[in-house]
Amino acid sequence: MEDNYLERFYELFEQMPRQGPGDGDSARRLLDALSVSGPGPLRHIADMGCGSGAGTLWLARHTDAEIDALDNYRPFLQRLEREARAQGLAQRITTHAADMAAPPFPPEHFDLIWSEGAAYLIGFTQALALWRPLLHSGAHLVVTEMCWFTDTPSPEARAFWAEGYPEMATPAQRIAQAKAAGYKVLRRFRLPPRAFNRFHRDLRQRLEILRARHGDHQVYRECEQEIALFRDNRGAFGYFCLLLQKTDR
Ligand X SMILES: C[S@@+](CC[C@H](N)C(=O)[O-])C[C@H]1O[C@@H](n2cnc3c(N)ncnc32)[C@H](O)[C@@H]1O
CA-CA distance, 189 to 210, in Å (whole number)? 34
Which x/- pattern over 187-226 shows residues binding ligand X (rule: CB under 6 A)?
A: ----------------------------------------
* Nearest alpha-carbon partner for 129 in 91, 171, 182: 182
Q: How far is the CB of 189 from ligand X (least distance, A)?
A: 17
> Closer to ligand X at the Cβ: 184 or 188?
188
Minimal distance, residue 47 CB to ligand X, in Å: 7
Yes or no: say if 8 and 214 are a contact pair by the CB < 8 Å rule. yes
From the CB of 119, what's the least distance to ligand X, in Å? 9
Residues 116-135 that bind ligand X (CB under 6 A): 116-118, 121-122
- Distance separating alpha carbons of residues 236 and 154, to the nearest angstrom: 8
Which of 2, 7, 32, 99 binds ligand X (CB under 6 A)? It is: 99
Q: Binding mask 59-78 vs ligand X (x if CB under 6 A, - otherwise)? A: -----------xxxx--x--
Which residue's Cβ lies closest to ligand X?
51
Q: Are 117 and 109 in contact (CB under 8 A)?
A: no
Contact between 146 and ligand X by CB under 6 A: the answer reads no
**Least distance between ligand X and beta carbon 55 (Å):** 5
d(CA 138, CA 197): 35
Q: With contact defined as beta carbons under 8 Å apart, do 195 and 239 qualify?
A: yes
Size of the site for ligand X (CB under 6 A): 22
Q: Pattern of binders to ligand X over 17-36, x per CB under 6 A?
A: -xxx-x--------------
Q: Using alpha carbons, select from 30, 189, 181 the residue that is nearest to residue 112.
A: 30
Measure CA of the first residue to CA of the last residue in the chain; give whole Å. Answer: 45
Q: Which residues contact 224 (CB under 8 A, 6 or more apart)?
A: 207
* Residues 104, 71, 102: CA angle, nearest 5 degrees: 30
Asked if residue 55 binds ligand X (CB under 6 A), the reply is yes
Residues that bind ligand X (CB under 6 A): 18-20, 22, 49-51, 54-55, 70-73, 76, 99-101, 116-118, 121-122
